[in-house]
Structure 1
Amino acid sequence: MQNKNIKLAIVLVTSLFFLWGLSYGLVDVMNKNFQTHLNVTKAESGFIQAAYFGAYFVFALPAGMIAKRYSYKVGIIVGLFLYALGALLIVPAASMQNFSFFLFAFFVLACGLSALETNANPYITTLGDEKNSSFRINVAQSFNGVGQFLGPIIAGQLLLSFAASNDIAHNMSNISKIYVSIAIIVLVIMVIFVVVKMPDSVKTQEQIQAASVDDKKLFEHKNFTLGVVAQFLYIAAQVSAGAFFINYALDHWSGLTAEHAAYFFSIALIAFMLGRIGTTPLMKIFKGHTILGVYSLINTVLIFLVFAGIEKVSVIVLIAVFFFMSISFPTIFALALRGMSDNHVKTASSVLVMSIVGGAIMPYIMGKVADISNIQTAYLLLAPCFLFVAWYAFTTEKRA
């Protein structure tokens, strides 16, 4: 019965990775959509990511406290409720055609996602032995990639198509339909979590022994402290790469429409998903941190090719960046939590999710640079982010 509950818990938690991936894929299309329909600048459209990922910073610690006080399951249920509530708040925002109200709705929705990520990421690592935690979380994150590439396809068809682009009422109506559908699905899954019995974690004897000797304070774990910085910079790079992908593609692929650029973005997220699916089995052969380091170095080089702004070629290179970003978040997450006691893990997970605030800050900076200079110069800001992640990955074993 215990093994059956564990397998069911893994399946249900993995479904959450798909749900927040879908939401993220939709949000990145909103930048161009609101630039077109609500007449905001590139920098102002960056406030979407500021509201969305700022919510991660605000709600991660409360979400961790809920998990610590009650359980991962309760934290997940709270997250699903806020996700559905935020999705439903999109309806009045669309009806009013009010950018500020949209930002508020995305903030509430993302508070829910913050609770989901704070609980689901460490939860999936505890449902088995520690040495396979990177493998397990990358498998779950592969479903996140599926959601991410479906988001732009849906949004491209309903929001950036030629018909919708000429009718703001039609566009806003489609936004409402998308998010009402999401709210219904999320509420159904929330009910399933309420009904189903789930273990809070599964500890092996090895983990129990490690916990008994872990008398370090949280920030004395050097891999954790530097992991927070690495995650901050990585998320800053990932979110920014997606937020302005459509703008970049339109500038560097002659004759491309916004709708077709959204499909190109879907291809980038398919590359992201394939990167996770294709690389995860390699973690049974090579160490996760080694793959992370190599991929991050490759992306550092690719960003300079994106900066070069070569017609069509640089767009394809930018798509490749998504492939090599694919395993970064879950691998950094697992590395940062390695060797910690269960008492530390829930708080540490909250701090790691708070570091997602990097995604709230960088898009605005990139948008400013793009408004003042050009979009390819803005992408150059991502190179040092990838370089730090590479350094963190290659030096992680020295700090173990």
Structure 2
Amino acid sequence: MKTNKSLFPFILITSLFFLWGFAHNLDPILIPHLKKSFTLTTVQATLVDSAVFIAYFLMALPAGFIMKKYGYKTGIITGLLIFALGSYLFIPAANMQQYSFFLVALFIIACGLTILETAANPYASSLGDPATSTQRLNFAQSFNGLATTLAPIIGGRIILTKGYTTAQLSVMTEQGRKLALAAEASSVKIPYFILGTVLVIIAIIFAFTRLPRIQQHEGHAASKNIFHALKHRHLAWGVAAQFFYVGAQVCVFSLFILYAPKSADLTEVKATYYLGVCGAAFLTGRFIGTFLMRYYSAASLLAAYAGINILLCVVAILGHGMITVYAVIGICFFMSIMFPTIFALGIKDLKADTEFGSSLIIMSIVGGAILPRIFGYISDITGNIQYGYVVPLVCFAVVAFFGFKGYRVKVQPKDLLVSAIL
């Protein structure tokens, strides 16, 4: 932070990373829970991720316009309130016992998350010395990693342990079994009610807090449309890298509780604990990565981590037993720095294009809606969920390229001339 006045705002901004991380990492609990409650296929269960990440694609541009016209503070408060609304909608969704209602609630939550991420990532990156923006964003994102550790453990204890056993379900009539499974959905009401209430309180705190204004850099004409920002080639590559990275992350985390019982013969509840270990590895990797960036460039570290994950994906595909779980834990460790690093490198030197550049990178999170469904199709068609890890393998290859070459800032002189004219 440049001054002590930035410390409390930075703490508040950092709390947002924890909150949306907690929300996202309840999704891996919801997927097996709703899959069982509504008797879904793997592909149908991945609609949970689709509902969430399609919202990122649809809301990223409106979020950018909100930030550009009304400022970061208004955007953050708006995002928190929409996030809270979606959380409260879990109560009527559970009462009505309709899968589609849950998807709508998740979509609304994700609309709020989109606005928050569009605001908080560039704000945290800009709130201090530009030379340490990547480290600062990685530090803030570390609390997202903390949520990744806690959410599966807490969610697993509250949601997954309150269901019926296979033996209990087997002696019920078909109608009774359907009612029993649907009734399990009610276990989500309390955690989401608490989450929504916390969000409203934090929104009130933001409303009464004075946030430092992020000054635009001089010497760069303001964008008139979203496509102008894509003249920055490193941003275009950043958008692609983030699309594939988020797709990989969602495949790994959201489908872990379906993956581990098949690859290592774990129970679902035990798998939630290992998912918590994945979160701990993710958190540890974030802090270690932030430290290593003092000595190695962010881009080099990104490329190296992505390369290691390609090898770990091979183990996840071909291995048997607990080694597959350990490989996935390793993947979580090495993918820990990827989102904030891609984000920071992608918006570097965008200047007045920063809001639109941020929106484009947030839009690319739609990879989390598309790629897990491909993972699901591969799993259902082959009958082996391990083969689905071909998808993250390809994703990490794209990320490795971005860290190796695509991150380099390069704007053609003619593009700068067009920028000046516009």
Q: Which moved more, 1:38-47 or 1:164-173?
A: 164-173
| Residue correspondence of structure 1 range 1-400 to structure 2 within 5 A | 3-161=3-161, 168=181, 171-201=184-214, 208=217, 211-212=218-219, 217-254=228-265, 256-341=266-351, 343-373=352-382, 374-396=384-406, 398-400=408-410
**In the superposition, relative to structure 1, how do residues 397 and 263 fare at CA in structure 2: closer, same or farther (>3 Å)?**
closer
The Cα shift of 1:162 comes to: 5.9
TM-score by length of 1: 0.94
The Cα shift of 1:143 comes to: 0.3
The Cα shift of 1:186 comes to: 0.4
Q: What percent of counterpart residues are identical?
A: 39
Q: Write the letter of the residue equivalent to 2:381.
A: I
CA contact (8 A) 2:141 2:286 kept: yes
The Cα shift of 1:19 comes to: 0.1
For the residues of structure 1 that align with 2:408 and 2:355, how far apart are their CA atoms? 24
The Cα shift of 1:397 comes to: 6.0
The Cα shift of 1:213 comes to: 5.1
CA contact (8 A) 1:230 1:392 kept: yes
Give the root-mean-square deviation of aligned CA atoms: 1.7
Q: Write the letter of the residue equivalent to 2:194.
A: S
Number of equivalenced pairs: 391
The Cα shift of 1:174 comes to: 2.2
- Residues 303-358 of structure 1: per-residue CA shift (max 9 Å, x gap): 011100321111111111000000000000000111111x2101110111000000
- Residues 239-293 of structure 1: per-residue CA shift (max 9 Å, x gap): 1111211111001223x21111111111111101110011101111111111000
**In the superposition, relative to structure 1, how do residues 129 and 140 fare at CA in structure 2: closer, same or farther (>3 Å)?**
same
Report SS of the residue matched to 1:220.
Answer: coil
**In the superposition, relative to structure 1, how do residues 215 and 197 fare at CA in structure 2: closer, same or farther (>3 Å)?**
closer
**In the superposition, relative to structure 1, how do residues 399 and 126 fare at CA in structure 2: closer, same or farther (>3 Å)?**
closer
CA contact (8 A) 1:73 1:200 kept: no
Give the ranges of 4+ consecutive aligned residues of structure 1 lying more than 6 Å apart after TM superposition. Answer: none
Q: Write the letter of the residue equivalent to 1:330.
A: P
For the residues of structure 1 that align with 2:300 and 2:310, how far apart are their CA atoms? 16
For the residues of structure 1 that align with 2:321 and 2:267, how far apart are their CA atoms? 15
Q: Write the letter of the residue equivalent to 2:318.
A: A
Report SS of the residue matched to 1:154.
Answer: helix
Residue aligning to 2:415: none
The Cα shift of 1:136 comes to: 0.4
Q: Write the letter of the residue equivalent to 1:187.
A: V
TM-score by length of 2: 0.89
Q: Which moved more, 1:80-89 or 1:365-374?
A: 365-374
For the residues of structure 1 that align with 2:120 and 2:5, how far apart are their CA atoms? 16
For the residues of structure 2 that align with 1:266 and 1:157, how far apart are their CA atoms? 12
For the residues of structure 1 that align with 2:150 and 2:199, how far apart are their CA atoms? 16
Show structure 1 runs of 5+ residues with no match.
Answer: none
The Cα shift of 1:398 comes to: 4.7
For the residues of structure 1 that align with 2:409 and 2:18, how far apart are their CA atoms? 33
CA contact (8 A) 2:162 2:187 kept: no
Q: Write the letter of the residue equivalent to 1:370.
A: S
Q: Which moved more, 1:157-166 or 1:73-82?
A: 157-166
The Cα shift of 1:164 comes to: 5.8
For the residues of structure 2 that align with 1:353 and 1:398, how far apart are their CA atoms? 20
The Cα shift of 1:214 comes to: 6.8
CA contact (8 A) 2:238 2:406 kept: no
Larger Rg: 2
**In the superposition, relative to structure 1, how do residues 162 and 215 fare at CA in structure 2: closer, same or farther (>3 Å)?**
closer
Report SS of the residue matched to 2:160.
Answer: coil
The Cα shift of 1:13 comes to: 0.3
For the residues of structure 2 that align with 1:162 and 1:88, how far apart are their CA atoms? 21
**In the superposition, relative to structure 1, how do residues 32 and 396 fare at CA in structure 2: closer, same or farther (>3 Å)?**
same
Q: Write the letter of the residue equivalent to 1:12.
A: L
For the residues of structure 2 that align with 1:53 and 1:194, how far apart are their CA atoms? 27
Show structure 2 runs of 5+ residues with no match.
Answer: 169-179, 411-422
Q: Write the letter of the residue equivalent to 2:7.
A: K
